[in-house]
Chains A and B, each alone.
Chain A
Amino acid sequence: AQSVTQPDIHITVSEGASLELRCNYSYGATPYLFWYVQSPGQGLQLLLKYFSGDTLVQGIKGFEAEFKRSQSSFNLRKPSVHWSDAAEYFCAVLSGYSTLTFGKGTMLLVSP
């Protein structure tokens, strides 16, 4: 069965510093991968997706992610974090019939 692991429950980054959130997946075929962001009390917003092709994908809000098949990873990155990026981030894999299997999330805290 497919699964997604986000090893870090919480991460604290200084404003202006770079960010990398880790995501590892388990899936038999070529995965379709997503990163979503959720601000407190809000719904989920799609940051970016990987379906095929270029392994470095660009998303909204200055985020990017790199798909590495050999490491079963899809890590999210941003070169310079802003205080407004503080939120919870979820990695997910498409599981069939347009349903998603999510990781447990990483809470990003941004310090001044």
Chain B
Amino acid sequence: NAGVTQTPKFQVLKTGQSMTLQCAQDMNHEYMSWYRQDPGMGLRLIHYSVGAGITDQGEVPNGYNVSRSTTEDFPLRLLSAAPSQTSVYFCASAGQVNQPQHFGDGTRLSIL
């Protein structure tokens, strides 16, 4: 049982490039979320999904797109990377609305 798998673990981009951060879970969880972690800021919610085909914005959605075509996958897209998007990105999933989230190991993204 792999849990929540994020790829890649590390990535360096140039300003203006696009990229997709992958997140997959094998627990048949309906609820999935993306967070970014910046020093001194804790984790902030970017986007979330309550099931296949249903997504919504979180606290800091600008510059990011998501889609949820299957229960298992919830990719996060950066359309035109900016240095302000340098961060550590975490994907999480939960099986029920009031259950603790399971987190992936994170993707460390640097944008030059």
A sample of 21 cross-chain residue pairs with beta-carbon separation below 8 angstroms, ordered by A number, consists of A9-B40, A36-B103, A42-B106, A43-B105, A44-B43, A46-B100, A49-B100, A90-B42, A96-B97, A97-B97, A98-B48, A98-B94, A98-B96, A98-B97, A98-B101, A99-B33, A99-B48, A101-B45, A103-B42, A104-B40, A105-B42
Interface: B12 (CB within 8 A): no
Interface: A57 (CB within 8 A): no
**Is A104 a contact of B42 with CB atoms below 8 Å?**
yes
- In the assembled complex, how far is the CB of residue A80 from the closest CB belonging to chain B, in whole angstroms? 26
Query: Given the complex of chains A and B, what is the CA–CA distance between A94 and B94 in angstroms?
Result: 12
Q: Which of A34, A42, A95, A97 contacts B105 (CB 8 A)?
A: A42
- Prevailing SS type, chain A contact patch: strand
With a cutoff of 8 Å between Cβ atoms, the chain A residues found around residue B101 in the complex are 98, 100
With a cutoff of 8 Å between Cβ atoms, the chain B residues found around residue A101 in the complex are 45
Interface: B81 (CB within 8 A): no
| Interface members, chain B 18-74 (any A CB < 8 Å) | 31, 33, 35, 40-45, 48, 50, 56, 58
| Number of chain A residues close to chain B: CB under 8 A | 25
Interface: A25 (CB within 8 A): no
